[in-house]
Chains A and B, each alone.
Chain A
Amino acid sequence: MIDSLIQPFTANAFMANALIAGVLVSIACGIVGTFTVLRGLAFMGDALGHGVLPGVAIALLLGLPGMLGAAAGALAMILGIGFITRRSSLSSDTATGLLFVGMLALGVVIVSRSHAFSGDLMRILFGEILGIHVREIVTQLVATVVIAIAAAVCYRPFLLLCFSPEQAQVSGFSPRLYHTIMLILIGTTVVVSFRTVGTLLVFGILLAPAASASLFSRKIGTMIVSASLIGSISVYIGLLVSYHGDIAAGASITLTATLIFFVMLAGKHLFQTLAPGREKA
């Protein structure tokens, strides 16, 4: 039995690569996802995930690397949301929703116009973690390290922003600057993650582990580590299920992460019902 848990990874290079890539993505998502959940930027993360689709489609059509297009798409989303919220009285939720639907539709139109890309559409939407090259693992490693360093340096203003942008400002940290940095980090994480689970599901891997961690953790450090662990476990289980059950890998991973969240939520509710008022010190 133990064999079937380990053997798929030791016997197949593509599975080992997928696992490594998935763990790297989990760490990046653990860090960025924690701040996203605490800051309430969940919808933003989703919008960015769908905004990259047209970017990737255009890049592929032009023969450029998909990740470049993804980065351009994410940047367009960030700038677009900022533009709409500044020029109108619309909330950032509405702006995000408009741009996300618009860019998703644009992306599908671009891809569907070119018949040769129908397979690519599936790969962009659902990821291709089993086709990850070592080259991409290196990119993801670099991105994860950069994200970790940025989060460590900006930890205090990020924490203040989650609490109150006014307090951030009177503590000497520009809310606008650090909000922008946070968005760039979310965008970078999405761009790096979409190859593993696809743009449709990257929202799940970004948020579900962090949301699970926030149910039980009271310190940011613990939340980040827990989110990264839960994400990595989801990758491992998802890949195993996909291998043995011949199921789409990206979707398995995201489904596992989401299921873990609901199990933990139910567990917390049960714990609070059975032992009311007994809070851990």
Chain B
Amino acid sequence: MSEMHLQPAAVLARGLSIGHGRETVVANLDFRLEPGKTLALVGSNGSGKTTLLKTLAGLLPPLAGTIEVLGGRPLASPARVAYMGQFHPSSFMLPLRTVDIVRMARFASHGLLGRLTPSDERAVHEAMAVMGVEHLARKPLNALSGGQRQKVFLAQTFAKEADLILLDEPAANLDAPAQAVYRRFVRTCAKAGKAVVVATHDIDEAAEYDWTMLLARRVVAFGPCAEILTPQTLMATFGIVGQFKEGRLLVVEREHGHQACGGAHEGPCQH
């Protein structure tokens, strides 16, 4: 038990404001995530999930406050943080083999010229085997379907063997078996002591994680999923009237295309 206190938190945010340029998307975030724990970021489009993931990955600078990742600034240890963004439009054109694409995950550990070792190859093949894409190893990326590509990108993310894994809507384009595989792998990573942060709009997926953060350009709620999914928080996050009961979300009434909602309120939105 005492060992865990010697390890720094995987993610530590204090008074963190995130956004682009001058525009603040979410202000004053305060939370920590321990190694071996999983966090789901849940919200509709524009709610701040992607912005938060990119800030944790070091792709966006924080606008205010502090953010510590694995005990240091974001991008301080690139080999220890893996990030998978939403889609890669340009890489659809690449005629390169999928095994070479997955192998790129190992570059972070070796810099410009360090040699790749047999343990790197093992990580690559293990990740591809887990995601069920080993048989596509020699196929060019531009010959794969959308779902196959997504599995390859996930394999690439897992092949990095990072201590903090950041995934943005990873289940998009995945069929049900692949989704099950990917969720099982997240659980395995957590058991191995890695921290995982996943952005999803799927509440059922969020229910499997240790923590859930409901975002609507502000933190609507933060805690274990079953505790924080109340009719009020669902309204504020999604603009729907619903309930979360016995591990399932019941949508009673879908109000309207609900974007950002400035304040918490009870009952249907007025606008």
Residues of A within 8 A of B (CB): 38, 40, 153-154, 156-157, 159-160, 162-164, 166-167, 169-173, 214-215, 217-220, 279, 281
Task: Give the residues in chain A near B57, CB-CB below 8 Å.
Answer: 166, 170
Chain B residues with Cβ below 8 Å from A214 are 95
Evaluate contact between A156 and B107: CB separation under 8 angstroms.
Answer: yes
Q: How far is the CA of A167 from the CA of B87 in the complex (A)?
A: 12
Separation of A169 and B108 alpha carbons in the complex (Å): 10
| B81 within 8 Å of A (CB atoms) | yes
Indicate if the CB atoms of B97 and A219 lie closer than 8 Å.
Answer: yes
Return chain A residues, CB-CB under 8 Å to B97: 218-219
Tell me what chain A mostly uses at the interface: helix, strand, loop, or mixed.
helix
Chain A residues with CB below 8 A from B78, complex form: 170-172
Within 8 A of A (CB), among B112-134: 112-113
In contact, A218 and B108 (Cβ under 8 angstroms): no
Partner of B93, one of A40, A164, A166: A40
A163/B107 contact (C-beta < 8 A), A170-B83, A220-B96 known: no
Tell me whether B93 and A172 are in contact (CB under 8 A). Answer: no
| Contact A172 B96, beta carbon cutoff 8 Å | no
- Compute how far the CA of A184 lies from the CA of B33 in the bound complex, rounded to whole angstroms: 43
**Could you say which residues of chain A place their CB within 8 Å of the CB of B101?**
163
Contact A164 B79 (CB under 8 A): no
Chain B residues lying within 8 Å of A159, measured Cβ to Cβ, are 104, 107
B100 interface residue, CB < 8 Å from A? Answer: yes
Given the complex of chains A and B, what is the CA–CA distance between A162 and B138 in angstroms?
19
A163-B91 CB under 8 A given contacts A170-B78, A172-B79:
yes
Contacting pair A218 B75 (CB below 8 A): no
Q: Are A163 and B139 closer than 8 Å at their CB atoms?
A: no
Instruction: List 24 interface pairs A-B (beta carbons < 8 Å), by A numbering.
Output: A40-B93, A153-B113, A157-B112, A159-B104, A159-B107, A163-B90, A163-B101, A163-B104, A164-B88, A164-B90, A166-B59, A166-B85, A167-B83, A169-B75, A170-B57, A170-B78, A170-B81, A170-B82, A171-B78, A172-B75, A172-B108, A172-B111, A215-B95, A218-B95
Residue contact A170 to B90, C-beta cutoff 8 Å = no
Is the Cβ of B140 less than 8 Å from the Cβ of A218? yes
Q: Is B61 an interface residue (CB 8 A)?
A: no
Q: Tell whether, in the assembled complex, residue A279 and residue B143 are in contact, meaning their CB atoms are under 8 Å apart.
A: yes
Task: State whether B75 touches A170 (Cβ < 8 A).
Answer: yes
**Nearest chain B residue, comparing its CB with the CB of A217:** B95
Q: How near does chain A come to B87, taking the closest CB pair, in angstroms?
A: 10
CB distance from B143 to the nearest CB of A (A): 7
Determine the chain B residues whose CB is within 8 A of the CB of A219 once the complex forms. 96-97, 100
B8 at the interface (CB under 8 A from A): no
Contact: B112 with A170, CB < 8 Å?
no
Question: Is there a chain A Cβ closer than 8 Å to B58's Cβ?
Answer: yes
Query: Within the assembled complex, what's the spacing in Å between the Cα atoms of A38 and B141?
Result: 12
Given contacts A160-B104, A163-B101, A172-B79, contact A218 B138 (CB under 8 A): yes
Whole-angstrom distance from the CB of B57 to the nearest CB of chain A? 5
Determine if B112 and A156 form an interchain contact, defined as CB atoms under 8 angstroms apart.
yes
Q: Does B94 contact A (CB under 8 A)?
A: yes
Minimum CB–CB distance from B197 to chain A (whole Å) comes to 14
Tell me the complex Cα distance, A142–B100, Å.
31
| Distance A252 CA – B85 CA, assembled complex (angstroms) | 46
- Complex CA distance for A266 and B75, rounded to whole angstroms: 46
